[in-house]
Amino acid sequence: MAITKDTVKYVAQLARIELKAKELEELAGQLQEIVNFIDKLKKVEIKNIPATSHILPMSNVLREDGPQESLAADKVLKQAPQREGDFFGVPKVIE
Amino acid sequence: MENELYKLTAHELLEKIDKKEITSQEIIGFLKKRIKGVDSKVKAYVRLKDANLQSATCNLQSTLKGIPISIKDNICTDGLHTECCSKILQGFKPPYDATVITKLKQAGATVLAYKTNMDEFAFGSSTENSYFGPTRNPYDLERVPGGSSGGSAAAVAADEAVWALGTDTGGSIRQPACFCATVGLKPTYGRVSRYGLIAFASSLDQIGPITKDVEDAALLMNIIAGFDPKDSTSVNSAVPDYLQALEKDIKGIKIAIPKEYFVSGIDQEVKAAVLAAIDKLKDLGAQTSEVSLAHTEYAVPVYYIIATAEASSNLARFDAVQYGFRAESKKGKTQNLIEMYKQTRGEGFGQEAKRRIILGTFALSHGYYDAYYLRALKVKTLIKQDFDKIFREFDCIVTPTSPTAAFKIGEKIKDPLKMYLSDIYTISANLAGIPAISIPCGFTKKVLPVGLQILAKPFNEELLFRVAYAYEQNTPWHLEKPKL
C-alpha cells in the first residue's frame, strides 16, 4: 500500500487536523514505513479466525435506569475556552 | 536517619506512623524537600511552580493514614490540572475525580497536586513526547526513563514519590518501571476502573501501581482494584487481599519461558540478567520449561493498528469546545467551526499524537477497514489463543520486560518505528488482556536497570505477586538507589 502526500492530506481532513506542508511530507514518509511494517500481517492465515474486539466475555452490561447526581454545570462550563452564559460558545456554524 | 526517610516504602512509612515515630504531615514535608532537591535534574513532575504540593486533607484514621501518592497526568483529579502533558488540554481542571482517585482518598491517601510527566496522551515509550519536555532517568540523566509513565517511574526511583499510579496500554507502566528499577503492574483488563482515565485505547488501557517494592504494589492494588458501575468494562468479581499472596515459597510453580523473547534484538547483558533470574526462580523451587508464543512477532503491528484506531476515535473529543486549548483565528480572518477544529488540533497536538491519529483514521477509513483493522482483530485472537494454550499447562510466563536497558534521550525519537519496537515484549499482555508485572532483576555494566516480566492468566494477580515477592526477597536489586 503506497502512502502519498495526498493520502495523508485526505486522512488529515477526515481527522480535522491542519498540517503544514513540511509535516505532510514528513508524515507521508513515516506512515509509509509504518504501513510497510504493518503489512507483515498479510502473511498470517486468518481464514475462519473470529475477530476479538473485546477480550472479556461480557455482553449487554446494564444498570438500573435511575436518577443520579450529575456534575455541577458551572464547574463544567468554567473549563470551556468560550462560554456564553450557560452555553459553550463556538464560532459561527452556518454562514 | 531523618534525611533518609524519603527512601522508605509506603508499608514502612505506615509502620512508622503506627509507632507514632512520624506523621503524614512530616512525610509530605520531607517529600517536598526531596522534590525541591532533585527534580530540577530528573524532571519527573510537571507544573511544579503552579500548585501547592498537597491537594486535600484526608482521613488519618483510615488504611493509608495520609501517605502521599503521585498521579500520572492523564488521570482526572477534581480541581487539579490534568493535561495529559498535551498543549490541547492546557489549563484543564477536571470537575470530578477518577474512580481510582476517589478510592485512594477514601482509603486515606494524600493525592499530590503535582502530577507526573508522560508522553503526550501516553503516546510513546520514552516520555520525550511530553509538551513539558522529557523526564530523565535517575540512573543516568542522559537517558530516558521509559514511557509513557516515565514521570511516575522516575519519581519513585528518585525517591521523589512514595509510590505512584501509572497507566499501561502497551507497556507504559512496565517498561518505565523496568528502566528505573521499580516495580510496575499492569492489572488484568477490567480489574481496575478506567472511569476518569483520559482514554488512549479503551480496549487496552489499564491503571496500575508503580512502587519501590512488591509489597507496596499489592497494598496499592488492594485499594484501587474492583468493580465500578461507571466503567462498564470493569469486572464484578471479588477482589482478594493481595497482601495475603506475598509468600516466599514458590515450590512447584510451573513457569513457561517463551523462546521468541530471547532471539534477535535482545541486548546480551539484558539476556544474561534475565537468564540468571530464571535460574534463581529454579533455585527457589519453580519448574521451568521452554515454550513457544508463535504469534509474538505480530503483536507490535496488531497493536499499532488497534491502538491508533481507538486513539483516533477517542481523541476526536478534543475539539476546543468543552475544555482545553483553542487556536486563535488567523490574522485578519474570521474562523468558522471546521477551521476552529482543524487549527486547534493542528496546533494543539504534538507530532506523535498527529501521527497516531492519522494512522488510526487511515486504518478505519473506507476501503482499508477490512485490510487493516479487521485483520488486526483476527490476529489478536491468535495471540490470545497462544496465551490460553500456555496457561492450560503453566502458572505463569517469565520474559525480559524490555529488549534493552534505557536508551539515550534523542536516540529513537526521530524514528517512530524503532521506538514502537521497544515495546515488543510488553504489548502482548494488553492484547490478551492478561496481568503482567515488571520487577528489577539486575543492572548492566553501565549501572542501568534490567527488568523481569512475569505474566499470568486473567485475574491471577495474586500469583504474580507471589512469584515477584519470592524473587525480590531473595535478591538485592530492589534495594539499589540511583546516585543523584
Residue B29: how many other CB atoms lie within 10 Å = 15
As a dihedral over the C-alpha atoms of residue B313, residue B314, residue B320, residue B321, rounded to 10 degrees, the angle is 100
Please indicate, yes or no, if residue B312 is contained in any of the structural domains: no
| Cβ contacts of B93 on chain A, cutoff 8 Å | 79
- Specify whether B172 is catalytic: yes
Hey, what long-range contacts does B325-333 have (CB within 8 A, 24 or more apart)? B325/A81, B325/B87, B325/B88, B325/B89, B325/B90, B325/B91, B326/A81, B326/A82, B329/A91
Pick the CATH number of A5-43 from 1.10.3470, 1.10.20, 1.10.1740, 1.10.260: 1.10.20
Query: Of B70, B86, B148, B422, which residue is the catalytic one?
Result: B148
Distance CA B332, CA B122 (A): 36
pLDDT at B60 over 80: no
Please indicate, yes or no, if residue B115 is contained in any of the structural domains: yes
pLDDT at A63 over 90: no
Please indicate, yes or no, if residue B395 is contained in any of the structural domains: no
DSSP-derived secondary structure letter, B259:
G
Q: Å from B300 to nearest chain A CA?
A: 8
Q: What is the pLDDT of residues B370-424, one digit of tens each?
A: 999 999 999 999 999 999 999 999 999 999 999 999 999 999 999 998 999 989 9
Query: Of B70, B149, B152, B172, which residue is the catalytic one?
Result: B172
Interface of A with B in 3-32 (CB under 8 A): 3, 7-8, 11-12, 14-20, 23, 27, 30-31
Name the residue facing B305 among A23, A38, A92 (closest C-beta).
A38
Residue A93 is predicted with a pLDDT of 83
**pLDDT, chain B, mean:** 95
Three-point CA angle A6, A8, A13, nearest 5°:
95
Q: Taking Cα atoms as reference points, which of B37, B80, B74, B40 lies closest to residue B56? A: B80
- Cβ-defined contact of B376 to A41 (cutoff 8 Å): yes
- Specify whether B130 is catalytic: no
- Cβ-defined contact of A81 to B321 (cutoff 8 Å): yes
Q: What is the pLDDT of residues B157-169, one digit of tens each?
A: 999 999 999 999 9
Distance CA B141, CA B40 (A): 11
| Cβ contacts of B321 on chain A, cutoff 8 Å | 80-81, 88, 90
Q: Find, in chain B, the residue whose alpha carbon is nearest to that of A19.
A: B346
CA-based radius of gyration for chain B = 21
In whole angstroms, how far apart are CA B63 and each of B13, B18, B54, B103, B220? 12, 11, 18, 11, 11
Which residue range is the domain that position B192 belongs to?
2-253+401-479
In whole angstroms, how far apart are CA B444 and each of A91, B269, B272, B420? 56, 6, 10, 23
Residue B301 is predicted with a pLDDT of 97
- Cβ-defined contact of B334 to A23 (cutoff 8 Å): no
What CATH number does the domain containing B55 carry?
Answer: 3.90.1300.10
The interface predicted TM-score (ipTM) is 0.96
How many CA atoms lie less than 13 Å away from B53 in the CB half-sphere? 16
Query: Residue B211 carries which side chain, given as an amino acid letter?
Result: T
Distance CA B280, CA B250 (A): 11
Residue B54 is predicted with a pLDDT of 66
**Strand intervals (E) in B195-278:** 206-211, 254-258
Nine-digit cell string for B101:
482517585
Q: Domains in chain B: how many in total?
A: 1
| Cβ contacts of A63 on chain B, cutoff 8 Å | 229
Q: What is the pLDDT of residues B195-209, one digit of tens each?
A: 999 999 999 999 999
| Cβ contacts of A69 on chain B, cutoff 8 Å | none
Please indicate, yes or no, if residue B432 is contained in any of the structural domains: yes
| Cβ contacts of A16 on chain B, cutoff 8 Å | 316, 319, 338, 341-342, 345
**Residue B238: exposure state from Cβ atoms within 10 A (0-12, 13-18, ≥19):** exposed
Residue B1 is predicted with a pLDDT of 47
How many CA atoms lie less than 13 Å away from B360 in the CB half-sphere? 23
Name the residue facing A44 among B298, B351, B355 (closest C-beta).
B298
Name the residue facing A91 among B336, B362, B379 (closest C-beta).
B336
Q: Does A38 touch chain B (CB under 8 A)?
A: yes
**Neighbour order of strands in the sheet with B110-116:** B45-46, B110-116, B68-72, B164-168, B206-211, B183-186, B436-443, B449-456, B396-400, B254-258, B287-291
Rounded mean pLDDT of B111-137?
Answer: 97
Q: Taking Cα atoms as reference points, which of B387, B404, B425, B405 lies closest to residue B260? A: B425
Q: What is the pLDDT of residues B422-481, one digit of tens each?
A: 899 999 999 999 999 999 999 999 999 999 999 999 999 999 999 999 999 999 999 999
Name the residue facing B417 among A11, A33, A55 (closest C-beta).
A33
Query: Of B72, B186, B412, B457, which residue is the catalytic one?
Result: B72
Distance CA B143, CA B126 (A): 9
Residue B277 is predicted with a pLDDT of 98
- Cβ-defined contact of A79 to B322 (cutoff 8 Å): yes
Residue B55 is predicted with a pLDDT of 63
Distance CA B455, CA B255 (A): 10
CA-based radius of gyration for chain A = 23
Residue B51 is predicted with a pLDDT of 58
| Cβ contacts of A37 on chain B, cutoff 8 Å | 300-301, 417
- Cβ-defined contact of B203 to A55 (cutoff 8 Å): yes
As a dihedral over the C-alpha atoms of residue B351, residue B307, residue B189, residue B111, rounded to 10 degrees, the angle is 10
Please indicate, yes or no, if residue B460 is contained in any of the structural domains: yes
Q: Taking Cα atoms as reference points, which of B99, B125, A14, B345 lies closest to residue B137? A: B125
Name the residue facing B95 among A18, A20, A76 (closest C-beta).
A76
Instruction: Decide if B149 contacts B179 (C-beta within 8 A).
Output: no
Phi, psi of B322 (to 5 degrees): -90, -30
Distance CA B26, CA A52 (A): 50
How many CA atoms lie less than 13 Å away from B218 in the CB half-sphere? 22
| Cβ contacts of B357 on chain A, cutoff 8 Å | 15, 17
Q: Å from A4 to nearest chain B CA?
A: 12
pLDDT at A95 over 80: no
- Specify whether B148 is catalytic: yes
- Cβ-defined contact of A79 to B93 (cutoff 8 Å): yes
Please indicate, yes or no, if residue B356 is contained in any of the structural domains: no
Name the residue facing B433 among A18, A56, A76 (closest C-beta).
A56
How many CA atoms lie less than 13 Å away from A69 in the CB half-sphere? 3
Nine-digit cell string for A20:
503544514
Q: Does A61 touch chain B (CB under 8 A)?
A: yes
Residue B57 is predicted with a pLDDT of 62
The string of DSSP letters for B125-148 reads: SSSTT-TT----BTTBTTB---SS
